[in-house]
Amino acid sequence: MTNRLFLAFSVLVTGWVTLFVAGPSLATAAGRPNVVWISCEDISAHLGCFGDPHAITPRLDQLAEESIRYTNAFTTAGVCAPCRSGIITGMYQTTLGTHHMRGQTRLPSFVRPFPQLLRQAGYYCSNNSKQDYQFKTPPGVWDESSGKAHWRRRPRKDQPFFAVFNFTGCHESGIASEAKYRKVTGQLTKRQRQDPQALTTFPPYYPETPAAREDWKRNYELITAMDAWAGGLIDQLKEDGLYDNTIIFYWSDHGVGLPRAKRWLYDSGVHVPLMVRIPAEYRGKLTPTPGRAIDRLVSSIDFGPTVLSLAGIKTPQVMQGRPFLGESAGEPRRFVFGARDRMDERYDIIRMARDKRYKYIRNYEPLKTYYQYMNTPEKGATMRDLRRLHDAGKLPPIANRYFARNKPVEELYDTRNDPHELNNLADDPAHRDALIRLREAHLKWVTRTRDLGLIAEPLLVAREKTIGHRYGVLRQEDGDDLSVRVARMAVAASAGESALKDLLQALDDPDAAVRYWGAVGLGNIGGPARSASTRLTAALDDESAVVRVAAARALLRSGDRAAVQPALKALTDVLDRGEQWERLHAAIVLDEADEQARPVLAQMKAALKPRSELYAKGKYTVRVINRALNQLESTNRTAP
């Protein structure tokens, strides 16, 4: 990709916006609608009202008859915490720096969770009870956030309210854990149970095993339990005489909690059910008719701005979400976007752009397999069967493809004709126009939103300490140019030998964020980049630990035997003395190095000695090193 193309796509958000909303008195607020969010976790649109033939969801199906159903609603991540940070702020997690699962960042003072604005307008705001925003909730967001939070606890019954309720029973742990599954579904009748063999919606990328079928069945039964819970909340509104002046949103945070769904950017991971019921009193002239299905594209970052719009509150300029209902509703989106970054102990930078028909995926780390070993999903029965059958050579081709050593750089799917997204059309001339359109939309989004996922996590952490928040990392005096340079090198890193010259030049860049991608790209080229060994060896002394780690990886992949020892030493030095996320980067490279890492087996074991810093702040590093050691020791035991 040329510099000019990136510059053309670099539409910058400049200036710092200070938000101010004048809060009316309760007397004027009393005419505003109440709003209830009924949210749940880890489910796709497996509901009767969304056309699923097996779903047993009578309460939500009834709600759908009175609601607007959005058939093209998507979350910005396939995992809870990053997308929840976006839902509560109306901003992309990659803009805020909340994109890595189980990270923690700080918000700038002018980025405010939207319930603060509702409270300023006179609303009572309650959250029952999950937050999980990946930042410390600022003061004044909630009147109450707890397991007891409820609109019934507001001090004045004439005060409008915004109340959030979240069902955790259908979380992936409800599928994986026998005890939780039984507890959540304990009240289901015999007629509400499912026959796992009769479920025709079972995805083709799962193994046809009893355990995997059981997992799919449990997903449906957990959803039925959730349906009853949601119906109970609706009953409470009716009991309190509030049903006819309360707007109800129903949504899920991301897709089903199973492999190749949760954590992924396929529709199985990011396409979610969304319904909005608006009582007649609050329907404007442009409000869609209840009971209809609408194919308008909606992003999860639009939820908050839409609540503000329905309450008559202007959306702050800093928010990236767009209201799709109410006074401030604008033009429909042409595209929705999503991001995958670190999932617990593993990095895999992937970006998504989608219109109503086509899905584009960019794999910024194509040398990583789809199914990297991660502690949490590996606990599930479906994942265990996938690995077992793959190792035995018995996995069908569709399921086996996700064990390929590499991923394609680009993926393109026609979701209308290929809803499971199995047929990659990126190289199909007949779909070239769609590929170019969505590729460019993705590049514009990356530069316009200042995608912090393209900056290595250790660098973000260090710069946050100086600036005060990650949001500002690409908004400093040189932020425009740095954003373009980082994005260009991130793309070049997976372009192969044709980018060799640019990647070598990147090693001389004044910013470590660019040098990092230069080294990563040379490592991706592998053997043909052996001519760069001298430059990469010099980079082992870079001031940035993450650049040193990337250079060491490149040397290990280059085939230069003389470079193996200094590369391993650089990695173990970082593992021994680096900061938390620097250590994780080094551990991952050692894990990926396989047999090349055997000479430093002792140093890897030493890294696991009970040291407070490693164990208190480096549990993910411990997981990766343990995995690497297990693999090496297993290989050693089975060697002839």
| Torsions phi, psi for 632 (to 5 deg) | -65, -45
Cα-flanking dihedrals φ and ψ of residue 222, to 5°? -65, -40
C-alpha to C-alpha distance for 105 and 150, rounded to whole angstroms: 28
Nearest to 302 by CA among 92, 12, 2, 445: 92
| Of 460, 457, 456, 440, nearest in space to 448 by CA | 440
Residue 274 tokens, joined: 């969304």
The single residue of 40, 49, 80, 83 carrying the catalytic annotation is 80
Q: What six digits make up the tokens of 482? A: 């740095």
Label the pairing between strands 350-354 and 161-167. Answer: unpaired
Q: What sections of 256-380 are H helices per DSSP? A: 267-270, 303-310
Q: What order do you get walking across the sheet with 293-299 strand by strand?
A: 144-145, 124-128, 161-167, 34-40, 246-252, 271-277, 68-74, 293-299
Residue 99, both tokens: 């994109």
Question: Can you tell me which residue has the tokens 């680096």?
Answer: 578
**Which two structure tokens, joined as six digits, stand for 331?**
């033009």
49 is an active site residue: no
The two tokens of residue 58 are 């009578």
Say if residues 297 and 334 touch (Cβ distance below 8 Å). yes
Rounded Cα distance, 87 and 85, in Å: 6
List, in order, residues 6 or more apart from 27 with CB less than 8 Å away. Answer: none
CB 292 within 8 A of CB 92: no
Q: State the distance between the two ends of the chain, measured CA to CA, in whole angstroms.
A: 48
Catalytic residues: 80
